[in-house]
Amino acid sequence: MTQISTPGDALDLELWPGKAYPLGATYDGYGTNFAVFSEAAEKVELCLFNADGAETRIPLPEVDGFVWHGFIPSIEPGQRYGYRVHGPHDPANGQRCNPNKLLLDPYAKAIDGQFDWDQPLFSYTFGDPDSRNDDDSAANMPKCVVINPYFDWGVDRPPNHEYADSVIYEAHVKGLTQTHPDIPEQIRGTYAAVAHPAIIDHLQALGVTAIELMPVHHFANDSTLVEKGLSNYWGYNTIGFFAPDSKYSSNPNPGGQVQEFKAMVRALHEANIEVILDVVYNHTAEGNHLGPTLSMRGIDNAAYYHLVDNDKRYYMDYTGTGNSLNVRHPHTLQLIMDSLRYWVTEMHVDGFRFDLASTLAREFYDVDRLATFFELVQQDPVVSQVKLIAEPWDVGPGGYQVGNFPPQWTEWNGKYRDTVRDFWRGEPATLDEFAYRLTGSADLYEHTARRPVASINFVIAHDGFTLRDLVSYNEKHNEANGEDNNDGESHNRSWNCGVEGPTDDPEVLALRAKQERNFLTTLLLSQGVPMICHGDELGRTQGGNNNGYCQDNEITWMHWDEADTDLLEFTRAVSQLRAAHPVFRRRRFFSGKPLGRRGPAGLPDVAWFTPDGTEMSGEDWGTEYAKSVGVFLNGHGIPDMDARGQRVIDDSFLLFFNAHYEPIEFTLPPAEFGRSWIPVLCTAAEPDPEESFTAGTPVTVDARATLVLRAATD
C-alpha cells in the first residue's frame, strides 16, 4: 500500500497493487481498479482531476504482462482521469511516447468534455513535423470518467429476431430526433429521444425489428471541420471504443450517458426492437503522422497502429482517414473483442455493423477472410451469437470484398444497391443481375454455404443520396461542405426524372413519387434482409448533398413537419405485406426445380416470365434492351419449418417489374400457376381489391411501375 499526497483534498489516497484485469477503470463498490496496457512505457502515471481541473499524478508501480495497474479505495463513479506515459519518443522507429500529453484510456467507459484543437494536442510544432512539442495538453483534452456499472435492467431480454424476419432501420441519433414535435426539446437529439414513444411508435408502424445506430462510440470532431464551422456529424472518427458519446446525452452528470444509453436499449427491447451499433474499429481519430496525440498513439503507437514497414514514421491507411488499427497485435485484437463483448454483455446491444470491415482482415497487406479477427469472433461465445454485419470494403487495394466474408457474417450488399438503381433508371442489360438481387444474391453467397439473409439489401444508406434525392438529382450538390463540390461520390446511378432538383412540374413529381415506391417495393419484397435509411419513408431530402458527414444541421436532420404522408403509408403497407407472407422471407435460396409432391405438381419454387407469358429463356436474359420481367413465387415451395417443425405454406404471388418508359402488357401465366389473381400492390395506382385477373389474360403494367398479384384461394 502506498500513501498518495493529494493537495487540496482533505484526505490522502491509498494506492493498492490492484489487478491487471480487467483493463480500464473498474468500480467495485469499494474503490476503483485502473489498468492500462503499454509495452513501450517506462513509467505510467494515472492522472486524477477534481471539479476545478486540478490534477493529481499517481505513478502506477505494478506492471504484469505490460499492463500497468493499481487500485485506489474511495475513488467513486464520476471521478475524471487520464494517463501520462513516459517512454521513447522516436517517430522514425514508430515510438511516440510523450508524458506532456494527457491520454485517454482506450478502455474508458465514459468520456467527459470535448477537444480544444490547438498546438498542445500535437507532439510536433505546427509547420515542423519532425520537431518535438512538449506543451502540456491536459487543458485541451476531455477526461475519462469512472462509471457506475450498476443498472436496473428489470426483465430485459434480447428480442432475438431471425434475420429472415428482420427489417433494419439505419438512423442517426440526432438526425432522427432533433426536430420531432412530440419530443420534449430538452431531450431532442439524444438517446432518451430515441427511446421516446413517438419514435418507437413510428418504428413499430413501419415494421422495423432493429434500429442500426450510426456511430455512438465517443468520437472527435476533426479540427479541419471545426475551423470551417462544421462538425463530424456522422461520427466515423472514434476515440473511445467503450464509451457512448456524451454529445447524445441529455444527462448532464459525468458518466450519465451510460445510464441514458442503457435506458434507451431497455425501452427499445420492450418494444421488441433490437439495437445494432455501427462500429468503427478500423481506425481512430488520431489520424496520420500529422495527427494529434490523444490516446493510443502516446500509449503504444507501434502496438495499436499498422505502420509502414520500411518507415515507421508513417501509417498504413486503408480507410482514407490517416491510420488503420494493427490487427496483427494481440492487445489490439483484445481491445476490439473486449469492446464488442462489453457492448453485448453490459450495454445489451444486439449486433454490430462494422465500418470498412475489410480493414480488419488486413493482417499484413492483402485482405484475408481467415484473418485472426474473424477466427476470434467465430470462437467467442458472446460475440458470435449476435448479429454481425460487414461493410465489405475499404479503400485499399483489393478492398472490395462483397460476398467473401465468413459464413456467420452478413454483408451490406453494395451490388444490390447498384443493380436496383440501374434497373429502375432504365440501364440496359441489367435484367439478369436484377433477378439475382431480387432472389437473395445466390451468386454471391451460396458458394460459402450462406443463405439469402447474408445479403443486407439496401438502396439508400447514410453515405450518398437520400431516396428523394436519388430520383431528383443527376449530380451531387455538396457546396455546403466547403470543398468546392469535389467531395462525395460522383457516380450515383441516380436519375432526376427530367429536371434537376426541386420542381413544380406535376408529371415530374408524379414520376419521382412512383420511382420512390418502386425502390421501396423492390427493397422490401426482395429475399434477404431489407435496410431502410431513416427518413426515406417520409421523403427526406438533403438538397442533393450526397456527403452530409459534416452537416449537423437542417440539411441532414429529418423534418417531421414536412413528411410525405402518402409515401409513409405506402411504405407501411409494403412492410406489412412482407411481414404477413413468408414467401418474401425465405431462409433458403430458390432452386428453380419442379417440386414434385410439394404443392401443385411440377411447379418450381420460382419461375420467370417474359411479357408474353412464356418462361424466360437464356436468350431472353441476355437481351440488352429487356427492361421488364414477371416472377412467380410459389407459396407451396418454401423449404422452411416453423417453430413447431411444420412446413411453411403461403400464398403464391406474381410480381411484374416494368422499368420501360412505356406501359407493358403482360400475359398472365397458364392456369397451372394459378387460375385467378388479385392485385394487392401497385406503385402506379391504388389497386382495386375487388378486381381479379384470370390465367392467360393480359394485364397492363404502367410505365416504370411494379404490380404485385396474389393467387386467389379456391
Q: What is the pLDDT of residues 30-39, one digit of tens each?
A: 999 999 999 9
Higher pLDDT, 291 or 449: 291
| CA 679-682-685 angle, 5° bins | 110
pTM exceeds 0.85: yes
- Cβ atoms of residues 45 and 222 within 8 Å: no
Amino acid 448: pLDDT: 84
Within 10 Å of residue 624's Cβ, how many Cβ atoms?
A: 9
Of the CA atoms within 13 Å of residue 230, those in its CB half-sphere come to 19
pLDDT at 342 exceeding the cut of 50: yes
Beta pairing partners, 58: 46
Amino acid 598: pLDDT: 47
CA–CA separation, 134 and 275 (whole Å): 43
- Cβ atoms of residues 239 and 219 within 8 Å: yes
Distance of CA 514 to the CA centre of its chain: 28
pLDDT level of residue 594 (50, 70, 90 thresholds): confident
pLDDT 10s digits, 148-170: 999 999 999 999 999 999 999 99
Higher pLDDT, 2 or 126: 126
pLDDT level of residue 398 (50, 70, 90 thresholds): confident
Amino acid 713: pLDDT: 81
- Over range 666-691, report the average pLDDT: 93
Amino acid 64: pLDDT: 97
Amino acid 466: pLDDT: 98
C-alpha cell at 165: 424476419
Per the annotation, the verdict on 227 as an active-site residue is no
- Cβ atoms of residues 191 and 178 within 8 Å: no
Amino acid 360: pLDDT: 81
CA–CA separation, 97 and 341 (whole Å): 29
- Over range 340-350, report the average pLDDT: 98
- Cβ atoms of residues 367 and 324 within 8 Å: no
Neighbour-count burial of 619, counting CB atoms closer than 10 A to its CB (0-12 exposed, 13-18 middle, 19+ buried): exposed
> Whose grid coordinates read 482506450?
106
pLDDT 10s digits, 294-311: 999 999 999 999 999 999
CA–CA separation, 308 and 516 (whole Å): 46
Phi, psi for 359 (deg, rounded to 5): -60, -35
One-character DSSP codes across 500-519? SS----HHHHHHHHHHHHHH
Amino acid 11: pLDDT: 43
pLDDT level of residue 709 (50, 70, 90 thresholds): very high
- Cβ atoms of residues 180 and 193 within 8 Å: yes
- Over range 478-498, report the average pLDDT: 96
**In sequence order, what E strands does 177-273 have?**
210-213, 217-219, 238-244
> Whose grid coordinates read 447514410?
462
Share of the chain above pLDDT 90, in %: 85
pLDDT at 600 exceeding the cut of 90: no
- Over range 69-76, report the average pLDDT: 97
pLDDT level of residue 364 (50, 70, 90 thresholds): low
**In sequence order, what E strands does 400-470 have?**
410-412, 455-457
| CA 356-357-359 angle, 5° bins | 80
Amino acid 497: pLDDT: 98
Region of 539 please: left (phi>0), alpha (psi -120 to 50) or beta: left
One-character DSSP codes across 264-331? HHHHHHHTT-EEEEEE--S--TT-STTS---SHHHHHHHHHB-B-TT-TTSB--SSSSS--B-TTSHH
Phi, psi for 378 (deg, rounded to 5): -60, -40
pLDDT at 689 exceeding the cut of 50: yes
**Lowest-confidence region among 67-71, 345-349, 498-502, 614-618:** 614-618
Close Cβ partners of 580 (under 8 Å, ≥ 6 residues apart): none
pLDDT 10s digits, 608-662: 999 999 999 988 998 878 899 999 999 999 988 877 778 889 999 999 999 999 9
Which strand (E) or helix (H) includes residue 173? helix 173-177
Short-list 558, 567, 570, 575, CA closest to 171: 558
- Over range 215-219, report the average pLDDT: 98
pLDDT 10s digits, 221-277: 988 899 999 999 999 999 999 999 999 999 999 999 999 999 999 999 999 999 999
Three-state SS for 245?
Answer: coil
b vs e for 49-64, b when ≥16 Cβ sit within 10 Å of the residue's Cβ? beeeeebbebebebbe
CA–CA separation, 194 and 211 (whole Å): 10
pLDDT 10s digits, 505-526: 999 999 999 999 999 999 999 9
pLDDT at 597 exceeding the cut of 70: no
CA–CA separation, 181 and 562 (whole Å): 11
Amino acid 514: pLDDT: 98
CA–CA separation, 143 and 259 (whole Å): 18
Q: What share of the chain is helix, strand, coil (3-state, %, to 5)?
A: 25, 20, 50
Q: Which domains does the chain have, with CATH numbers?
A: 24-146 (2.60.40.10), 164-583 (3.20.20.80), 592-711 (2.60.40.1180)
pLDDT at 282 exceeding the cut of 60: yes
Close Cβ partners of 303 (under 8 Å, ≥ 6 residues apart): 37, 38, 39, 40, 326, 329, 331, 332
CA torsion, ordered 208, 433, 429, 514, to nearest 10 deg: -10
Higher pLDDT, 560 or 619: 560
Q: State the Rg of the chain over Cα.
A: 28
Q: Which of 391, 394, 605, 651 is catalytic?
A: 391
Amino acid 397: pLDDT: 77
pLDDT 10s digits, 20-55: 999 999 999 999 999 999 999 999 999 999 999 999
Distances (CA, A) of 205 to 190, 277, 353, 466, 700: 22, 22, 24, 21, 32
Higher pLDDT, 112 or 407: 112
C-alpha cell at 1: 500500500
Amino acid 395: pLDDT: 72
Q: Which amino acid is at 712?
A: A
- Over range 370-374, report the average pLDDT: 79
Amino acid 636: pLDDT: 93
pLDDT at 389 exceeding the cut of 70: yes
Per the annotation, the verdict on 355 as an active-site residue is yes
Distances (CA, A) of 110 to 78, 241, 242, 325, 499: 9, 10, 7, 21, 48
pLDDT at 133 exceeding the cut of 50: yes
pLDDT 10s digits, 675-686: 999 999 999 999
Within 10 Å of residue 265's Cβ, how many Cβ atoms?
A: 24
CA–CA separation, 21 and 278 (whole Å): 27
pLDDT at 601 exceeding the cut of 90: no
- Over range 172-184, report the average pLDDT: 98
Close Cβ partners of 375 (under 8 Å, ≥ 6 residues apart): none
Residue 208 DSSP one-character state: -
Within 10 Å of residue 72's Cβ, how many Cβ atoms?
A: 23
pLDDT at 8 exceeding the cut of 60: no
> Whose grid coordinates read 443493380?
419
pLDDT level of residue 593 (50, 70, 90 thresholds): confident
Q: Which of 355, 363, 537, 552 is catalytic?
A: 355
Amino acid 9: pLDDT: 44
Amino acid 642: pLDDT: 76
One-character DSSP codes across 659-681? -SSS-EEEEPPPGGG-SEEEEEE
C-alpha cell at 441: 444474391
